[in-house]
Structure 1
Amino acid sequence: MKWLATLLACTLAAPVFAMDLSGVYACKGNDAHEGKYTGTVTMKLRPEHSKGKDASYDFQLEVPDYGTYTGHAAVHGMHAAMHFALPMEQGEYGGKTNDYGTGIAEFRKNSNGQLRFRKFYFEPGFKGGNTGVEECIRK
């Protein structure tokens, strides 16, 4: 039984690492002002700024006819806070329409084992304030 206590102690002391959420995701969204849309999210792990369950990512969302939103995500386990904005070369911060915001997402695997997430976002400056939801699945 001493071996069991040693095994348990080693298991409890072992570091826990978050699942790598990097990849390309196909998304369908519904924006309170703009309606339904599709897009592609790309997330890339920043290992130099990640430790254990806490991970950092570069974030990009490409939406046809709207532009490419860039940003970052701070992840704890399977939950992420995501900041995004149209880049400065498309206008002032958030573009001329103040199209920038913050989202919160929960990642999970579906019944087929594919990683997916649902994101709720808030854009305080876009058309007087805006919200939306995206459902994304990793390709």
Structure 2
Amino acid sequence: MKKCIAVLAMSWSFQACAVDFSGVYDCTGQDAHEGAYTGTVTMKLRPEHSHAADASYDFQLDVPNYGVYTGHAAVHGHHAAMHFALPAEQGEYGGKTHDFGTGIAAFKKNAKGQWTFRKFYFEPGFKGGNTGVEVCTRQA
């Protein structure tokens, strides 16, 4: 048992400082109900709510012909939880579409040295429930 605990402890790695993922990202996505789409994500670091490897962000996803989803992201190291929603005036909470959800993303650098992330998301109320995947690359 001691050997197992030691291996588990060594497998955990913690960063001393968070990477700043702020910027504008070009995205392509595949939504289970709506199909393929493109969009632009803007992430802005909230330094007053960020400490060591934990960072907080304002999050915005602009999808042409659907709307501007606003939200936030909580990041630890290279992994993020993201909440997004269409504002009430665009039909979100209490409206017809219930177009809001939560995603989980992993950040990494591509061959060109740009930050990218892949996000899986779940929307519990949109059309009886919905999922999708986005792949986003930070603009140079």
TM range (shorter): 0.7 to 0.9
CA contact (8 A) 2:59 2:84 kept: yes
Partner SS state of residue 137, structure 2: strand
How far, CA to CA, are the matches of 1:85 and 1:76 in structure 2?
Answer: 22
Is 2:131 aligned against 1:112? no
Residue segments in structure 1 that go unaligned for 5+ positions in a row: 1-14
Q: Which segments of structure 1 move beyond 2 Å, counting only runs of 4 or more?
A: none
1:23 matched to which residue of 2? 23
1:102 matched to which residue of 2? 102
How far, CA to CA, are the matches of 2:113 and 2:66 in structure 1?
Answer: 31
How many percent of aligned residue pairs carry the same amino acid? 78
State how 1:124-139 maps to structure 2 within 5 Å: 124-139=124-139
Which amino acid in the other structure matches residue 22 of structure 2? S
How far, CA to CA, are the matches of 1:111 and 1:86 in structure 2?
Answer: 33
Larger Rg: 1
How far, CA to CA, are the matches of 2:23 and 2:58 in structure 1?
Answer: 11
Q: Please give the TM-score of this superposition, normalised by the length of structure 1.
A: 0.87
CA contact (8 A) 2:46 2:56 kept: yes
CA contact (8 A) 2:85 2:92 kept: no
Residue segments in structure 2 that go unaligned for 5+ positions in a row: 1-14
Aligned residues: 125
Partner SS state of residue 59, structure 1: strand
